[in-house]
Chain A
Amino acid sequence: MSSTRSDFSTAMVASMLLHGGVLVAALISWPWEKPLTPGTTVPVNIISNATYTDLRAAALAKEVQSAMTEAPVPDALPEPAAPTPEPTPPTPQPAAAAPKPVVDPNAKGQQKPTPKPQKALDLDALSASIAKTRPAGGKTSSAAQGAARPETAREARPSAGAGRGVSASALEGLVSQLQRRWNPNCEVEGGRDVRVRVTFTLNTAGQVVGLVEAGGQENSSNPVIRAAAERAIRAVRQAAAEKSLPREVYGQAWAPTFNAQEACR
């Protein structure tokens, strides 16, 4: 019996270690350096800036220039502090196309969207889609929505069973640190309308465990939303990397909502 118990215990420990190890490995981002290879090359033709320098001769050849309306001063010098463009000698250049970017297969999310094949309009599917995505009462943001937010700057809304025990000052410290590092995209059209809910977990040492995600907004096909999500994620990562967050918020899972509409006022 005792030998049987020993075998049983070994199997259980080995199994736990094995499965635990696999899970931990999946959550760790390994710092190994990956060799990066440039993308393939697509030769393109070139347009030359010099095509614009062959214009005076053509202009003069076309017509005889007449007198100015106001007495012109030949060879008027440009103002000393304000150099004017110098006509360059005519250098005829063949016209050609401009350089074009070549997509690097290593690059993430850089490829231009390829035009999708046009489908026949499915009115049923369309109306079903509208019914599903547009609740009565008006427009909704594609951003993840939190609970109702007061007019005041910040409020913590701990969900069931977690976050209890985090003091108000710690929450305020967390929000303050995120605010300091969040650079919202206020100057860009649409950038001030984006709400980004970021989720991340801090371990007991204050390090980010696993992914910092923005509910898929970081992969949005809308480049303004994607850029806004990346900026919010960057704020979280920077605050964590600088160990600037209050210790009390360590070991918790967080979901800050970055509200550009408020921040860009």
Chain B
Amino acid sequence: MSDPKEIRLMSLKSIILALASLVLATFVLIAPARAQIEVDVNKGDVQPLPIAVPAFGGARGADIAQVITANLERSGLFAPINPQAFIERQVDVTVQPRFPDWKVLNAQALVNGQVTVEGGRLRVDFRLWDIYSEQQLLGLQFISTPENWRRVAHKISDAVYERLTGEKGYFDTRIVFVSETGGRLNRIKTLAIMDQDGANPSYLTDGSYIVMSPRFSATSQEITYMTLRPEGSAIYLFNLETARRESIGQFPGMVYAPRFSPDGGRVAFSVERGGNSDIYVMNLKSRTSARLTSDPGIDTSASFSPDGTKIAFNSDRGGSPQLYIMNSDGTGVRRVSFGAGRYTTPVWSPVGDFIAFTKQTGGEFHIGVMRPDGTDERLLTTSYLDESPTWAPNGRVLMFSREVSGGPPRLWTVDVTGRILRPAPYPGSGSDPAWSPLLN
């Protein structure tokens, strides 16, 4: 029989030694984490992100995957992997993908989904996976009607774009523009609308009169544009939901270049009379208008800042067209462009960080951007004739019209860095584009 005291002593020793061993083991395991070696990584592989978008399961699944793939590829920030290379072709949305099969393809991310049509409703479940962390980054479900599958695909594209870049997407949007047909002397200019990817194009006017400078309201359900007929010009508001159209009123002289304020409650426009052109703004509720500029030069192309407190415009009051900014009541005018050449069509970015413009210099046209204070000017494009920039709602992509010598105008896009320049996915001839905000 052992002495009870000795047993208690040994038990105590056991506990102490066990605790000591635990501390030792913990120390051994965490020791490397406390002794980290610091290195700097100052270069990277600045390439579009490789992403895999296999066909979703179910009806329209392949179509939805194709629309997503095209959207992401067109953004210039993603490099969709050719589906022919896929090892795992049917990726069940209810289980984890086989990550090694996607690592082999160097895919950084994977989008998979399932389409279900039940009771006349379309349900799309999709997931976004980080291949190397083997984590789900997104899992969303959209419900719509079967004919609305393209919009669901655009919404998924927006979600993927935002999750992987950190910026809002711009795929669930539309473009109004002037469709141009016929020769140079008998050009027919028709107001048209399409999805940002060129799908679902349709006319809004019949081409019997000239339409110019369509602009979206921030609500995206209303546009304003200018018409030109032999009897004169007019500015219209056009509600896309109700098809209701109305003129904003009669003005002595030629009215042109309308643009909504960010809240949609006002429209700024120009009135030309006797060779002098000034900027006016109309309150759409009261239908009262106020003249904002009164100098003898040509003041036009008014564009509100996102908060509605400022207006950018171009004026030749200094001798050649340059960009100016004023308060929205017409006070505090100051010039912001000072470069050589002619600056026109300023358009304030929806996020407020840049003003896009058209610049003509040295016989060439450019689309450029500058900070609202006139600094950091960058020319993004150069061609025979580039003009009419419009911002995507995320403020990172511009659409504009480009004309080569003797050719019809086409729609192009460029990102704010100027690196991603490509034709817009609309095969016809078009000019004067206006990008809608994200649809609701």
Contacts and interface: CB of A to CB of B under 8 A. Distances in A.
B159 A82 contact: no
Contacts of A156: 37-39
Contacts of B45: 179-183
Interface in B1-50: 2, 6-7, 10, 13-14, 17-18, 21-22, 25-26, 29, 32-47, 49
B148 A54 contact: no
B65 interface: no
A154 interface: yes
Contact of B142 (A68, A99, A175, A187): A99
B143 interface: yes
B136 to A, nearest CB: 6
A79 B181 contact: yes
A143 interface: no
A244 to B, nearest CB: 12
A175 B229 CA distance: 66
Contacts of A19: 18, 21-22, 25
A68 B417 CA distance: 40
B254 interface: no
A121 B180 CA distance: 56
B327 interface: no
Contact of A107 (B6, B39, B103, B140): B140
B108 A234 contact: yes
B429 A38 contact: no
A155 B125 CA distance: 46
Interface residues of A, number: 137
Contacts of A73: 182-183, 186, 188
B181 to A, nearest CB: 5
Interface in B57-101: 76-77, 93-96
Contact of B202 (A88, A187, A223, A226): A88
B379 interface: no
Contact of B427 (A35, A82, A180): A82
B139 A107 contact: yes
A11 B14 contact: yes
Nearest to A154: B40
B135 interface: yes
B40 A155 contact: yes
B428 A85 contact: yes
B238 to A, nearest CB: 8
Q: Give chain B's interface residue range (CB within 8 Å of chain A).
A: 35 or more
A253 B133 CA distance: 19
B35 A175 contact: no
Given A82-B429, A104-B141, A65 B38 contact: no
Between B150, B231, B245, the greatest number of chain A beta carbons within 10 A of the residue's beta carbon is seen for: B245
A259 interface: yes
B396 interface: yes
A174 B37 CA distance: 11
Contacts of A102: 140-143
Given A51-B240, A201-B33, A146 B40 contact: yes
A76 B6 CA distance: 110
A95 B241 contact: yes
Given A15-B14, A98-B151, 14 more contacts: A16-B25, A23-B25, A23-B29, A49-B200, A55-B203, A62-B245, A98-B439, A156-B38, A160-B35, A179-B43, A187-B417, A188-B396, A191-B165, A241-B132
Interface of A: 3-4, 7-8, 11-12, 15-16, 19-20, 23, 27, 33-39, 41-44, 46-56, 58-60, 62, 65-73, 76-79, 81-88, 95, 97-104, 106-110, 146-147, 149, 153-163, 166, 171, 174-175, 178-191, 199, 201, 210, 212, 222-228, 230, 232-235, 237-238, 241, 251-260, 262-264
Q: In the A-B complex, list the 7 residue pairs whose CB atoms are closest, starting with the nearest.
A: A85-B201, A162-B35, A224-B166, A15-B18, A104-B139, A163-B37, A65-B208
24 contacts: A3-B2, A4-B6, A8-B13, A36-B127, A42-B143, A51-B241, A56-B203, A70-B187, A85-B202, A87-B203, A98-B439, A99-B143, A107-B140, A149-B40, A171-B37, A188-B167, A191-B166, A223-B166, A237-B133, A238-B103, A254-B36, A257-B38, A259-B40, A262-B43
